[in-house]
Amino acid sequence: MFRTRLLSSIVLVILIASVLLLGGPVLFLFTLFVALKAFFEMTKATKVRGASQKVCLLEIFGALGVLGYYGVIYFANTETYIMLTITLTIVAILFVYVFTFPKYEANQIMAAIFSFIYAPIMLAYLYLTRNLENGIYIVWLIFISSWICDTCAYLVGMAIGKHKLAPVLSPKKSIEGGIGGIAGAALVGLVYAFILKRIGVSQGNLLWVFPVISAIGAMISQVGDLAASAIKRNFGIKDYGRLIPGHGGIMDRFDSVIFTAPMIYYLAVLLLK
């Protein structure tokens, strides 16, 4: 199991690094794929499709909404069109609810809307961050704040963790591990900023901005991890999927990235001027 998980992690890191470096259409298509997969994992987990339903209009309109949202981001990235796409998707799901009543329950409608907003919309900030000025450098903070934080939290928690962070939800996570994850992400952010300064990247004061962004992102990423775990607990599932051997589904591996991506984007916009 450990070997499978390790090999999957190596392949995933290489894949992520490649698409982030390439950016443009390659990163866009990758992000769209991840968003759609996450959407369907969430609709399955939250039982949007009834056990006896072969075709689920809520999933169909939700997926069309994801495609429309990403299409707007790629071709006409304006706030008006983005909000219009989100609004039309929610309205379309409610149309299905009304005109097929009582085929779908209210909890299925709310789960469908949540599945559309939760992962797909927030994951889009991975692509949007890469498109910022110097985004090719900034976008790595998303993964420093999530995956580096996760690794550091695990190591520190194993070494000195005594006080439970969320004892009912995730008994293995500790407060010491959480602090270690934040500190580790901040330290890596500082080292990364120093390297960028050495190669001539001069946007903003990176030596304090990157550690701050990484630390805040790391705090948020841990909430994202726990939020995805809470949903699994509520619906009695172990993993969201089996796409990534040893890890589970997209939601299992990108749960913290979902929260971190928009946070890094807006912090970069505010602090790197």
pLDDT tens digits, 107-163: 999 999 999 999 999 999 999 999 999 999 999 999 999 999 999 999 999 999 888
Strand partners, 164: 174
* Residue range 178-222, pLDDT digits in tens: 999 999 999 999 999 999 988 888 777 889 999 999 999 999 999
SS3 200: coil
DSSP state of 148: I
Residue 148 makes CB contacts below 8 A (sequence gap 6+) with: 184, 185, 188, 218
Domain ranges of the chain: 27-125, 132-273
User: Residue 227 carries which side chain, given as an amino acid letter?
Assistant: A
pLDDT, position 229: 92
Q: Are 268 and 134 in contact (CB under 8 A)?
A: no
Measured at the alpha carbon of residue 264, what is the angle toward residues 259 and 268, in degrees to the nearest 5?
160
Helix count and strand count (H, E) for the chain: 13, 2
Report pTM: 0.93
pLDDT, position 2: 65
Burial label, 8 (beta-carbon count in 10 A; 0-12, 13-18, 19+):
middle
Residue found under tokens 């994801």: 66
* Residue range 27-86, pLDDT digits in tens: 999 999 999 999 999 999 999 987 777 789 999 999 999 999 999 999 988 899 999 999
